[in-house]
Amino acid sequence: MLSIVILAAGQGTRMRSAMPKVLHGVGGRPMLQRVIDTARSLEPAAIHIVHGYGGQDVRAAFPDGDLNWVEQEKQLGTADAVHAALPVIPDDHRVLVLCGDVPLIAAETLHRLLDRAGYNPALLTIEMADPTGYGRILRDPDGQVSGIVEDKDAQEDQKAIREINTGLMVLPAGPLRRWLADLSNDNAQGEYYLTDVMASARRDGSAIHAVTTDSASEVQGVNNRVQLAVVERAWQWRIAEGLMRGGVTLADPARLDVRGSVTTGTDCVIDVDVVLEGEVRLGTDVAIGSGCVIRDATLDDGVRVAPQTVIEGARLRAGAQVGPFARLRQETDLGPATRIGNFVETKALTLGRGSKANHLAYVGDARIGEGVNIGAGTITCNYDGRAKHTTVIEDGAFIGSDTQLIAPVTVGRNATIGAGTSLRRDAPADALTVGTGRQRTVPGWSRDPDASS
Ligand code: UD1
Ligand code: CA
């Protein structure tokens, strides 16, 4: 049986933030969330999260019932943190130690570690060009791991060792209880080091297994915002790579940001500086122009989004075209082959097949049928200062430019609304409705007051 302990009690002072470190986001989600998701994928018997500073904020961010929260009152070191969780872990469990600030660790690597460990201690190590600051792995002449020495406690020759402790390890719960009881904090930092249990294990006659990874990003910890950015870029690259391998062309994989999850069909093309947030679903052959921000949206096959368009909470059906400079807000549902052009804002709009609003319009709280043309400058006046009202436009209607549709109002099938109309009452089907004053010409009138006699 497996128990997972996620260490998250560190203060994170170097983030210089009012927010607890593990709540800072990577790819749009708190880093602790990423570690929890990976932990869950291993299907452990229990997940224990050790928290300290800002614990209430951290707990509140993860209300799920499968998490056991353990408070470490004082940050006396990593061994003390694991010790805090140990009372509720049965002796026959294996304890996998993860860190809330090492967010990109992959489940596959952890499986490798667990497979190698059996019921022995095992740790995940990596070779580093510059190992400064990390615990160094000590090995016997025959290659067996004999212990870990922390950077601050290391002798000069030990500092030259480039294989370091990632901090991720698996330990058998029963013996661990014993080994932890033996530890002292007589070291450079005056802390109880979890790393010291390796030497205790060795004295106990346990073999210590080491699994080495070559993925620096997987084991990259976040102590400050520079490392946060490093981890963010690594994550973004991972996502971009997945998209490209799945048949998506990225104009520049370094200039796409996915802050959430995205699914795609093949032959999508995404230009530079696009941000996808929340849950975004793209069909096949979807093209997204540069500078678009798309959040919680579904774009069906063949959709075209021209540059600088912002989409949030919308569904775009096959072949719909939007932008440039369009803004689709929540509950927008564009039918197949529809067209939304520049400087058009939509909200709670259902637009039927083939209908279009090509320029400068606000279309909100509206149900619009098929084959409707919305002229430039059209506004659905949906709000009377107190409540929102609906505009209904039936199939085939033509709305002239600069029309105000004062809701609630209905435009009948194939009706035509003359340009400049303020439509206050329903417009009947198959007829022209014009609401502007009659045009008049004053002969001989001049702009120059002195010239007119
Ligand atoms: C630790 C390891 C070091 C390893 C490095 C990898 C020890 C003694 N050293 O060092 O060998 O190379 O990680 O990054 O384990 N934490 C608590 N409570 C505490 C102290 C720490 O929950 O009392 C948590 C921190 O929030 C963090 C993790 O444990 O998530 C590691 O702590 P940190 O202080 O960063 O350890 P390092 O000194 O970097
Ligand atoms: Ca650290």
Strand partners of residue 299: 282, 316
* Nearest residue by C-alpha to atom 1 in ligand 1: 167
**Any alpha helices (H) in 297-411, and if so which ranges?**
none
From the list 319, 286, 325, the residue with the least C-alpha distance to 306 is 325
Q: Which two tokens stand for residue 36?
A: 């929890």
- pLDDT at 169 (0 to 100): 98
* Ligand 2 midpoint to CA 221 (Å): 6
Mean pLDDT of successive 10-residue segments in the chain (453 residues)? 96 91 96 98 98 86 95 95 97 98 98 97 97 96 95 97 98 97 94 96 95 97 97 98 98 98 98 98 98 98 98 98 98 98 98 98 98 98 94 98 97 97 97 90 89 58
- pLDDT at 153 (0 to 100): 97
- pLDDT at 452 (0 to 100): 54
Q: Inter-axis angle of helices 107-117 and 31-41, to 10 degrees? A: 50
Query: Which residues, 6+ apart, have CB-to-CB distance to 32 below 8 Å?
Result: 6, 8, 22, 23, 49, 58, 61, 62, 100, 103
Residues belonging to the active site: 359
- pLDDT at 436 (0 to 100): 79
Closest-lying ligand 1 atom to the alpha carbon of residue 101: 30
* Nearest residue by C-alpha to atom 25 in ligand 1: 10
Dihedral sign (CA 185, 190, 192, 198): negative
Distance CA 352, CA 329 (A): 17
Write down the residue that tokens 């007829």 correspond to: 431
Residue 198, ligand 1, Cβ within 6 A? no
Domains of the chain, first to last: 2-219 (3.90.550.10), 237-433 (2.160.10.10)
* Nearest residue by C-alpha to atom 26 in ligand 1: 10
Residue 134, ligand 1, Cβ within 6 A? yes
Contact 157, 45 (CB under 8 A): no
* Ligand 1 midpoint to CA 78 (Å): 6
* Ligand 1 midpoint to CA 193 (Å): 8
Query: Which residues, 6+ apart, have CB-to-CB distance to 60 below 8 Å?
Result: none
Residue 33: how many other CB atoms lie within 10 Å: 19
* Ligand 2 midpoint to CA 326 (Å): 45
Residue 264, ligand 1, Cβ within 6 A? no
- pLDDT at 54 (0 to 100): 67
In testing the pocket of ligand 1, which one of 78, 136, 198 has its CB within 8 Å of the most ligand atoms? 78
Closest-lying ligand 1 atom to the alpha carbon of residue 75: 23
* Ligand 2 midpoint to CA 26 (Å): 17
- pLDDT at 369 (0 to 100): 98
Residue 196, ligand 1, Cβ within 6 A? no
Query: Which residues, 6+ apart, have CB-to-CB distance to 206 below 8 Å?
Result: 120, 121, 175
